[in-house]
Amino acid sequence: MNNTNNETLTNHLQLMSGDMDDAQSMNFNYQPAHVDLLQLSSELVVEINTKRLTALQERKAIAAMNMVIANLYSCYEQWQFEGAAISHMPWLCYSRNRSKFSVPARYREAAHTYRRIIDSTIDPLLEAGCLYHVKGYLDRTRGVGK
């Protein structure tokens, strides 16, 4: 990416970072239904993993990638549905706090751990340039995180 593109992207992200009120929270129950999205998940897991995965690890990695892709697609659908009402695709918000992932295994999918979602799925997608990340903030007047 050349310098002009980097500056344009940086300016765009700064403008959008203040507009997080319409952000969608990550839903850990979402799964893509479309065959192309499922295929994309499998291909991305192969591309971003530097080490060889066992069959169980690969299934969990694909389940985590499916969930992330389904959430991103949900943001895209909302943007398409609202059309001109909003100028950009809504942000997908998620916590990077380990304690938010410490729900007992009985109540969550085994593939949805901090290590699997953040370290092994989102961070490699960020490093590959597939996603953009803007750190949220705490609105101290309302006591709400964005």
Per-residue tens of pLDDT for the chain, all 146 residues? 456 656 665 665 555 555 676 778 888 888 898 899 999 999 999 988 878 889 988 998 999 999 999 999 988 888 888 766 666 777 888 888 888 777 665 655 566 788 888 988 999 999 988 888 887 777 777 777 76
Q: State the pLDDT at residue 123.
A: 92
The answer to whether the beta carbons of residues 86 and 52 sit under 8 Å apart is: no
Q: Which of 107, 143, 138, 136 is nearest to 25 (CA)?
A: 136
> Residue 9 has which token pair?
């992207």
Enclosing domain of residue 43: 3-145
Cα gap 36→41, rounded to integer Å: 9
C-beta of residue 33 within 8 angstroms of C-beta of residue 109: no
Q: What is the pLDDT of residue 78?
A: 83
Alpha-carbon distance 43 to 69, whole Å? Answer: 12
The pLDDT, as a whole number, for residue 96 is 85
CA distance 92 to 133: 10
Residue 1 has what pLDDT? 47
Q: How many domains does the chain divide into?
A: 1
